[in-house]
Amino acid sequence: MADSILVIVEQHEGKLNRVSWETLTAGQALAAETGWTLEAAVAGSGVASLANEVAGKKVAKVYALESPKLEPYTPDAFAAALKQFIASKQPKLVLLPHTYQVRDFVPKLVTAMERAAISDCIGYKKDGNKLLFTRQMFQGKLAADVTFTCDAPWFVTFQNGAFRGDKVEAGSAAAPVETVNIEIADGVVRNKPQEVFKEAKQAVDLTQAEIIVSVGRGIKEQKNIELAKQLAEALGGELAASRPICDSGWLPMDRQIGSSGQTVAPKLYLALGISGAIQHIVGMKGARTIIAINKDSEAPIFEIADYAVVGNLFDIVPPMIEEVKKAKAGA
């Protein structure tokens, strides 16, 4: 069997990842340099059309690895399927995009095959007969060339952006597509996929808020945060805080305003029990109207406040909530 390079492309919900094209570009370049045959594979359930899409590029052959157990993705199923397939094909080199999914299953796959992977590479070099793969070290300050000392197949993952996906060469004619039905025995897949977790873009985007109610140390206890929250809700605004509050874990860090948090410029900024250290001020001084409530008449927050209320916030905020509610109901 001639030496070959196998690129494993990645798909999500019937769409190929952009990085998959980048890895294919890398595969084409490596194939040109080594003279090895370039093949590609896509794994999943009902991936024939994706395989056809890849077959339009300059590759010798595309495999659609089919199994109902490959959808939805689990690391056990992917490792098992690819192990079978790669063991039967014995490519020299297996290329994958360095995605979260690849980071998830490749260590398992490579360990099961008793091989090694060079991960997160940004390029390659050919040194005589040796293939060197370049990895970044020290956050990109150094580049290390790494090579394999074990037997093939060799596994390499390429970093996002290392190659140009738009430079992938089209084939002169569509490459043949072979569907390979993969048998995955019962009991192999131990993972139970749950609903895909989508990280909220950022739970709150305080920079877009028109009204912000912000709390500082004057709130005293975690349970009192509720009071500020009620005021924010009554006003239709967002809740935010100064550093000590987020530091104590009373509110998540994405609600922190100031030099180590977010910088905001709402129409109205209500500072409850915030002394007004410069670190906080730089994050909110752009607010159009600042109302500050603080027991300490010397608190620096009053220097930038448009309305300064010297008093105990626990006396002032509850009637405020009532008044806001009343006014809103009236309007």
Partner 1 sequence: MLVFRKPLPNIERPQMPADVVIVGGGPAGMACALRLSQLIDQHNANHPDSQLSKENIYVLEKAREIGQHCLSGALLDPRSMRELLPGFEKEAPLDAEVTKEAVYFLTEKSKFKFPITPPPLRDHGNYVISLNRFVKWLGSKVEETGITIFTGFAGSELILDDDRVTGVRTDDKGVDKHNQPKSNFEPGYDLQAKVVILAEGTRGSLTKQLIARFALDRDRNPQTYGQGIKELWEVPAGRIAPGEVIYTMGWPLTTKEYGGAWIYGGKDNVVSLGFVVGLDYPDPRLDPQRVLQEFKKHPLVARLLERGKMIRYGAKSLPYGGWWSIPPLAGNGWMILGDSAGFLNSQRLKGIHLAIKSGMLAAEAAFEALVAKDTSAKQLASYQKKLEESWAGKELWKARNFHVNFKDGLVGGLLRNGLALGLGNFIGKTPTPVENDFETKRPLSEVGGLKDIKQGIPYDGKLFMDKLSDVYLAGSKGEEDQPSHLQVLNKDVCSTDCAETYGNPCTRACPANVYEMVDDESTPGRKKLHLNPTNCVHCKTCDLIDPYINIRWVVPEGGDGPNYSQM
Between 179 and 248, whose beta carbon lies closer to partner 1? 248
**What minimum distance in Å lies between the beta carbon of 144 and partner 1?**
8
Q: The dihedral of CA 174, 64, 3, 143: what is its sign?
A: positive
Footprint (CB under 8 A) of partner 1, residues 262-281: 277-279
The 182-221 contact track toward partner 1, x by CB under 8 A, reads -----------------------------------x--xx
Q: Which of 1, 2, 142, 196 touches partner 1 by CB under 8 A?
A: 142
Q: How many residues interact with partner 1 (rule CB under 8 A)?
A: 23
> What ranges in the chain are assigned the alpha helix state H?
18-34, 48-55, 75-89, 100-112, 225-235, 243-247, 278-284, 301-304, 313-330
What are the angstrom distances between the C-alpha of 20 and each of 16, 23, 76, 111, 245?
7, 5, 21, 23, 44
**Cα gap 60→256, rounded to integer Å:** 54
Interface residue with partner 1, options 2, 141, 150, 166 (CB under 8 A) = 141
Whichever of 32 and 282 has its CB closer to partner 1, that residue is 282
Of 183, 210, 247, 296, the one binding partner 1 (CB under 8 A) is 247
Q: Does 107 bind partner 1 (CB under 8 A)?
A: no
CB distance 289 to 267 below 8 Å = yes
Hey, which residues between 218 and 237 contact partner 1 (CB under 8 A)? 220-222
The widest CA-to-CA distance across the chain, in whole angstroms, is: 85
Q: Which amino acid is at 64?
A: A
Please give the Cα distance from 294 to 308 (Å, whole number). Answer: 8
- For position 147 contacting partner 1 by CB under 8 A, the verdict is no
Rounded Cα distance between 158 and 160, Å, is 7
306 counts as binding partner 1 under rule CB under 8 A: no
Residue 133: partners with Cβ closer than 8 Å, 6 or more residues away: 118, 121, 123, 124, 125, 145, 146, 147, 156
The least CB distance from residue 172 to partner 1, in Å, is 42
Contact predicate 62/39, CB 8 Å: yes
Collapse the DSSP code of 34 into the 3-class scheme (helix H, G, I; strand E, B; otherwise coil) and give the result. helix
Nearest distance from residue 272's CB to partner 1, in Å? 18
| Residue 114 CB, nearest approach to partner 1 (Å) | 18
For partner 1, give the closer residue by CB, 188 or 277.
277
- 282 binds partner 1 per the rule CB under 8 A: yes
Q: Does 253 bind partner 1 (CB under 8 A)?
A: yes
Footprint of partner 1 (CB under 8 A): 137-139, 141-142, 217, 220-222, 243-244, 246-248, 253, 256, 259-260, 277-279, 282, 300
